[in-house]
């Protein structure tokens, strides 16, 4: 595939010579052959011109769920990867949210094979424990050899601190990354939203910030004892930011992420009892959102993720207490972040994180593999159901005003443009 990108504004802070410069980019057979002010195309080259075309390194998302195997009605791997590509992501980490869960090397091989031949690369997570039941460790080393990039019992707490201790100790033998979901289930109880003024007004059972912060404090204490590599996905409170900042000052090898929706929305949006806003962890207060944004800016929070979770209508169009948690996020990740942050910050957030998973970062230079995202950062629009590419339609961003649209990606000598 030969493509000539015309008059593309390059957003790549790592490459000071090209950053914010308008250039033509010639790609031949998946490799960046030439970058110049005015390039000519041969007869077998497709010329690509787009309004206000911007280009950056391909984007990375550390928390994406599909449905296959087991929940194909929510999302298949094929359509999920297409959606990811159209949303600007060249690489995604796939959550172990399927049935059965991927807890063996053969499960990881299946997921990798299903993702082959696509523009977006798939990097599966294996579960930390067998059947994600939190009792016995799964085949961590075998899954690592099969392609698993980390271990996570998806959205489930590790109740037994000794299990976390053993996992962190064992995984050090092969530089394995252990996840721990930040929520104490006993304190959460039957809570469905953030515990505060809004939950009291609505009469919904609350999840106190302490449910998250107590779990994080315990996990960090264990990490300080064992060493190893710990990732805390999708934090949501100001107290969590403080705990992780203190741990990093101690030199602990801990990273964390936050979902775009926890930066963009607060629990005040729940007043319509719309189950699309039911997520785990829950939407918190505006002051929590401000603290999270500050944590992103100062580097305490390492990654921002879409936390993309397709959910079929049968599990959303029910009473709030009975609805499943989760919202789509891939299609709105860029528009949401670009509404909150400056463009350079947004692109920096969307391109960082691969190293934590031992994934090689791409480069935007002549001779490198073309791993690019193409977008227009200045379009302002209201997100609609018609903009959703996922099989499920459970997006809390429907009706939200966003800034920036994605044209697609070029990766693996393929394109979603």
Positions marked active-site: 307
Which of 127, 129, 167 lies closest to 151 in space, CA to CA? 127
Residue pointed to by tokens 């500050």: 294
| Cα first-last separation, the chain | 13
Instruction: Give the total residue count for the chain.
Output: 417
Q: How far apart are CA 7 and CA 372, in angstroms?
A: 15
- For 197, list phi and psi in degrees, rounded to 5: -60, -40
Q: How far apart are CA 406 and CA 379, in angstroms?
A: 10
Which of 157, 59, 51, 142 lies closest to 102 in space, CA to CA? 142
Which of 219, 139, 231 lies closest to 184 in space, CA to CA? 219
- Give the SS3 label for residue 105: helix
With a CB cutoff of 8 Å and minimum separation 6, the contacts of 31 are 367, 368, 369, 370
Q: How far apart are CA 208 and CA 282, in angstroms?
A: 10
- Give the DSSP per-residue string, 230-292: EEE-----HHHHHHHHHHHHTT--EEEEEEHHHHH--GGGGGG--GGG--SSPP--HHHHHHH
- For 340, list phi and psi in degrees, rounded to 5: -90, -40
β-strand partners of 402: 381
Give the pairing type, strands 2-10 and 22-28. antiparallel
């Amino acid at each position: 595939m030969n493509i000539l990108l015309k008059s593309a504004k390059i957003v790549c802070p790592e490459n000071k010579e090209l950053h914010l410069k308008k250039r033509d980019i010639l790609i031949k057979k998946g490799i960046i052959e030439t970058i110049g002010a005015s390039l000519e195309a041969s007869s077998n080259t497709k010329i690509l011109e787009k309004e206000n075309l911007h280009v950056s390194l391909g984007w990375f998302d550390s928390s994406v769920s599909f449905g296959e195997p087991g929940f194909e009605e929510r999302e298949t791997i094929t359509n999920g990867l297409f959606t990811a590509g159209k949303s600007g992501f060249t690489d995604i980490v796939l959550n172990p949210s399927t049935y059965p869960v991927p807890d063996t090397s053969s499960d990881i091989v299946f997921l990798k094979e299903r993702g082959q031949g696509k523009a977006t690369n798939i990097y599966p997570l294996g579960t930390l424990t067998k059947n994600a039941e939190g009792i016995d460790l799964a085949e961590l080393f075998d899954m690592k050899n099969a392609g698993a990039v980390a271990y996570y019992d998806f959205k489930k707490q590790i109740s037994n601190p000794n299990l976390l201790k053993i996992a962190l100790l064992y995984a050090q033998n092969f530089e394995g990354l252990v996840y721990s979901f930040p929520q104490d289930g006993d304190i959460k109880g039957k809570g469905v939203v953030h515990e505060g003024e809004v939950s009291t007004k609505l009469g919904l059972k609350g999840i106190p910030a302490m449910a998250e912060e107590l779990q994080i404090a315990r996990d960090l204490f264990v990490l300080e004892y064992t060493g190893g590599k710990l990732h805390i996905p999708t934090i949501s409170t100001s107290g969590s930011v403080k705990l992780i900042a203190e741990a990093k000052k101690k030199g602990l090898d801990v990273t964390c992420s936050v979902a775009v929706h926890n930066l963009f929305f607060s629990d005040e949006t729940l007043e319509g009892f719309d189950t699309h806003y039911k997520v785990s962890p829950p939407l918190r207060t505006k002051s929590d959102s401000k603290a999270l944004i500050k944590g992103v800016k100062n580097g305490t929070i390492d990654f921002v993720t879409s936390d993309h979770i397709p959910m079929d209508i049968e599990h959303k169009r029910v009473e709030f207490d009975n609805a499943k948690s989760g919202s789509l996020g891939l299609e709105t990740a860029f528009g949401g972040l670009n509404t909150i942050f400056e463009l350079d910050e947004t692109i920096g957030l969307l391109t960082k994180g691969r190293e934590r998973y031992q994934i090689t970062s791409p480069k935007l230079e002549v001779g490198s593999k073309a791993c690019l995202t193409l977008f227009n950062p200045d379009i302002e629009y209201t997100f609609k159901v018609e903009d959703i590419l996922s099989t499920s339609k459970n997006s809390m961003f429907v009706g939200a005003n966003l800034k920036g649209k994605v044209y697609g990606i070029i990766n693996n000598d393929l394109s979603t443009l």
